[in-house]
């Protein structure tokens, strides 16, 4: 049976009377105990949670519960009937003490106080005429939706439909009854009520529930802000007890108002349906408990997430504001929209000074020190920011100091995809740029220096080439001079030695003994002079690298024998012994015979010269790949420290020995160098005062080995 407006008016009249009666009679009939609290409860039509029953009394789950608690706590209750909206107004103004069935929201908490244990959990559901075809929220697009004005579901639905991009016509109405009526009449396409009301009333009006369910919420008694905390605590304490006891008034009330029909006349099939509905409702209640738990958990999670988000946003703000990077947002026309604290300090502006000003003329100079036009560059960046996602340019501080910034530019687009603004993050790289410049300068300097050096080296090389040419030319001149000198000296010596020899041999006539003796002295001196000339010429040739060594086949045996023979007169003169030992395998070798003889004569001469007693032994043998000639004497010997200096040119001239033993001091030096040029060497062993052994080592070339069996004699 539909409840119509007339009936509601009757009820209102009746309730007013009832309230007046209560006000007049109660204090007398039921004297208040000391401390009794009189509470005014707002009542409105929201069956089965709160409503005026057929008998005209306030009824419903919230009423049952608050009456039970009031009795327990010794409160006295008064009811003030009105619409939902009137109720909220009165509560806000403090005209009533409690408003039942108020869903908790953050906004409401600002103006009302709530207790903590929810009385019920509910959600909102969309109801429509049977066969409306509304199956999901999307089907509500373009529809007229009736909602309770100023209600949570009103706001929640507006947000929900906006989230889905739906355009709906909202019809706000003062109570649920009106909402269902207008839908039943076809004045609206769908109604939104809480699930309790909908379950109870939809069917009667030929409406059905749709699958559109949203905004689960906890329902409480709400009290005026900051007025009576104790009252709410008492409600909580009682609710906890009530909810714990399954036989309590709480569950009885739920059973009564949700499972038992409100006194309506219903056909049997409706009763049967009602029974089923009760079961369903109980199930849904159970489900709602579970849901409530989940919602609570979700809420806690959300709160945590919110806290986290808040904290992270805070962090982000701090990060942006205090980051050691310049963070700037600027508009398409170049105006600075945001500059973080670091950026402000860096460039030397306060926020007020820099905001809304153009980048050019503030932090961007007209021209870079390199000459680049930054005006143009900024225009280019604005025209094509993607191209300049990474850009290094010069900037300027307020004090005029030029700095180099490495910018990362990000484009922020608006809904239409147009460039709204540019986010630029910059790092000061002035030091790096300056260092690089310094390095470049140093490199340039180094390069210049290197070029100068190279130039000098080239010049020096050229000078040296000239010097070398001059030296070489001087050397050639020297060699030519020596050759010429040698020739010029030999020519007169040729006559001296030649004619002395002729006279001594008495080819030109007989001589007396004295004449002969004196002429022999002339000849000796001439020969010595010739030796000196030869030695000087040799050492000059050696030092000029001009000494040439020939390689001809000759008999080593013959050469050694002939050298020894030529020395016999000198050995005999000093009354010394001379022994020659030539091993049988020493035969023909390849080499410069004249030079080998020169070396052997020189060494043997020395041996004789420095030996006063004993004798000289010349021995020759073949080793694996060399010929060794050993010249051993029993002469004065050489001190150890003298041996190293022995082969230095003019050595003998350095010492006092030259007085006693004639010689240029060039002989050993020449021998050593000649042997080295031949690939051989000289070895010396000596004991001071006992004698010396000089060993000549001559390498054998292959030809020498091949021909070793050949008879050396011509």
Partner 1 sequence: MTKKKILIIEDNEQNLYLTTFLLEKQGFDVVQARTGLQGLELAVSQKPDLILLDIQLPVMNGYEVAGRLKQDVETRSIPIVSVTSYAMAGDREAILAAGCEGYIEKPIDPDSFVAQVKSFLPGQERGGVV
Interacting residue ranges for partner 1, rule: CB under 8 A: 479, 483-484, 486-487, 490-502, 505, 507-508, 526, 530, 541, 546-548
Question: Residue 46 or 500: which CB sits closer to partner 1?
Answer: 500
Min separation Cβ 681 and partner 1, Å:
22
Min separation Cβ 634 and partner 1, Å:
31
Reduce the DSSP state of residue 389 to 3 states and report it. Answer: coil
Min separation Cβ 594 and partner 1, Å:
8
Question: Residue 323 or 601: which CB sits closer to partner 1?
Answer: 601
Q: Tally the C-alpha atoms within 13 A of residue 683's C-alpha that lie toward its C-beta.
A: 9
Question: Residue 80 or 589: which CB sits closer to partner 1?
Answer: 589
Question: Residue 273 or 479: which CB sits closer to partner 1?
Answer: 479
Sign of CA dihedral 338, 344, 350, 354: negative
CA distances from 671 to 540, 595, 602, 605, 682 (A): 13, 9, 8, 12, 8
Question: Residue 537 or 576: which CB sits closer to partner 1?
Answer: 537
Min separation Cβ 483 and partner 1, Å:
4
Q: What is the dihedral of CA 46, 47, 51, 54, to 10 degrees?
A: 140
Min separation Cβ 519 and partner 1, Å:
12
Min separation Cβ 482 and partner 1, Å:
8
Closest CA to 39 of 68, 79, 71: 79
Sign of CA dihedral 78, 79, 85, 86: negative
Min separation Cβ 546 and partner 1, Å:
4
Phi, psi of 147 (to 5 degrees): -135, 165
Q: b/e string for 527-547 if b means 16 or more Cβ within 10 A?
A: eebbbebbbbbbbbbbeeeeb
Label the pairing between strands 190-194 and 120-129: antiparallel
Q: Return d(Cα 660, Cα 610) in angstroms, integer.
A: 10
Element (DSSP H or E) covering residue 184? helix 176-185
Min separation Cβ 545 and partner 1, Å:
9
Question: Residue 133 or 509: which CB sits closer to partner 1?
Answer: 509
Question: Residue 187 or 498: which CB sits closer to partner 1?
Answer: 498
- List the end-to-end C-alpha distance of the chain, in Å, as a whole number: 163
Reduce the DSSP state of residue 678 to 3 states and report it. Answer: coil
Question: Residue 431 or 506: which CB sits closer to partner 1?
Answer: 506
Q: Return d(Cα 382, Cα 358) in angstroms, integer.
A: 12
Q: Return d(Cα 332, Cα 421) in angstroms, integer.
A: 6
Q: Tally the C-alpha atoms within 13 A of residue 542's C-alpha that lie toward its C-beta.
A: 20
Min separation Cβ 502 and partner 1, Å:
5
Question: Residue 284 or 486: which CB sits closer to partner 1?
Answer: 486
């Amino acid at each position: 049976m539909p409840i119509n407006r007339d009936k509601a008016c009757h009820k209102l009249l009746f309730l007013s009377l009832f309230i007046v009666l209560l006000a007049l009679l109660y204090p007398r009939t039921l004297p208040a105990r000391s401390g009794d609290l009189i509470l005014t409860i707002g009542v409105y039509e929201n069956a089965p949670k709160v409503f005026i029953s057929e008998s005209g009394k306030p009824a419903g789950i919230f009423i049952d519960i608050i009456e039970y608690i009031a009795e327990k706590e010794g409160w006295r209750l008064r009811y003030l009937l009105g619409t939902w909206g009137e109720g909220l107004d009165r509560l806000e103004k403090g005209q009533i003490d409690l408003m039942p069935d108020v869903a908790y929201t953050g906004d409401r908490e600002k103006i009302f106080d709530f207790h903590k244990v929810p009385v019920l959990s509910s959600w909102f559901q969309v109801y429509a005429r049977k066969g409306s075809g509304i199956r999901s929220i999307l089907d509500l697009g373009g529809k007229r939706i009736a909602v309770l004005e100023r209600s949570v579901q009103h706001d929640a639905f507006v947000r929900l439909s906006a989230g889905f991009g739906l355009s709906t016509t909202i019809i706000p109405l003062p109570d649920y009854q009106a909402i269902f009526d207008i839908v039943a009449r076809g004045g609206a396409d769908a109604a939104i009520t809480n699930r309790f009301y909908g379950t109870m009333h939809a069917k009667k009006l030929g409406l059905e529930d749709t699958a559109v369910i949203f905004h689960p919420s906890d329902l409480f008694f709400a009290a005026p802000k900051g007025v009576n905390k104790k009252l709410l605590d008492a409600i909580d304490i009682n609710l906890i007890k009530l909810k714990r006891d399954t036989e309590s008034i709480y569950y009885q009330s739920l059973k009564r108002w949700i499972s038992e029909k409100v006194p309506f006349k219903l056909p049997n099939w409706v009763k049967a349906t009602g029974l089923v509905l009760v079961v369903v409702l109980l199930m849904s209640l159970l489900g709602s408990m579970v849901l409530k738990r989940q919602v609570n958990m979700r809420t806690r999670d959300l709160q945590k997430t919110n806290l986290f988000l808040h904290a992270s946003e805070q962090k982000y703000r701090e990060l942006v504001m205090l980051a050691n990077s310049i963070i700037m947002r600027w508009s398409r026309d170049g105006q600075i929209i945001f500059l973080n604290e670091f950026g402000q300090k860096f460039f030397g502006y306060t926020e007020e000074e820099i905001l809304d000003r153009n980048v050019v003329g503030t932090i961007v100079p007209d021209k870079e020190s390199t000459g680049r036009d930054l005006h143009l560059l900024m225009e280019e960046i604005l025209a094509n920011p993607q191209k300049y996602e990474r850009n290094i340019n010069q900037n300027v501080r307020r004090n005029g100091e030029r700095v180099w910034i490495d910018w990362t530019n990000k484009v922020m687009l608006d809904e239409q995809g147009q460039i709204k603004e540019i986010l630029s993050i910059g790092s000061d790289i002035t030091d790096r740029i300056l260092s690089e410049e310094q390095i470049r300068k140093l490199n340039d300097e180094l390069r210049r220096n290197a070029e100068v050096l190279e130039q000098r080296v080239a010049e020096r090389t050229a000078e040296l080439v000239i010097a070398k040419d001059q030296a070489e030319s001087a050397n050639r001149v020297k060699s030519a001079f020596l050759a010429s000198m040698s020739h010029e000296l030999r020519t007169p010596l040729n006559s001296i030695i030649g004619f002395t020899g002729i006279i001594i041999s008495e080819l030109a006539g007989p001589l007396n003994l004295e004449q002969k003796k004196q002429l022999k002295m002339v000849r000796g001196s001439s020969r010595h002079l010739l030796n000196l000339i030869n030695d000087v010429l040799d050492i000059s040739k050696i030092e000029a690298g001009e000494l040439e060594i020939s390689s001809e086949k000759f008999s080593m045996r013959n050469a050694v024998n002939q050298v020894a023979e030529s020395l016999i007169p000198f050995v005999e003169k000093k009354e010394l012994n001379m022994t020659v030992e030539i091993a049988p395998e020493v035969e023909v070798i390849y080499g410069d015979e004249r030079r080998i003889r020169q070396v052997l004569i020189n060494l043997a001469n020395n041996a004789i010269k420095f030996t006063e007693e004993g004798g000289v032994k010349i021995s020759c043998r073949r080793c694996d790949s060399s010929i060794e000639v050993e010249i051993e004497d029993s002469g004065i010997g050489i001190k150890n420290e003298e041996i190293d200096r022995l082969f230095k040119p003019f050595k003998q001239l350095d010492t006092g020995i030259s007085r006693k033993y004639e010689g240029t001091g060039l002989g050993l030096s020449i021998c050593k160098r000649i042997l080295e040029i031949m690939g051989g060497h000289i070895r010396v062993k000596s004991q001071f005062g006992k004698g010396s052994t000089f060993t000549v080592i001559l390498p054998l070339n292959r030809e020498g080995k091949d021909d070793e069996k050949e008879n050396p004699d011509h």
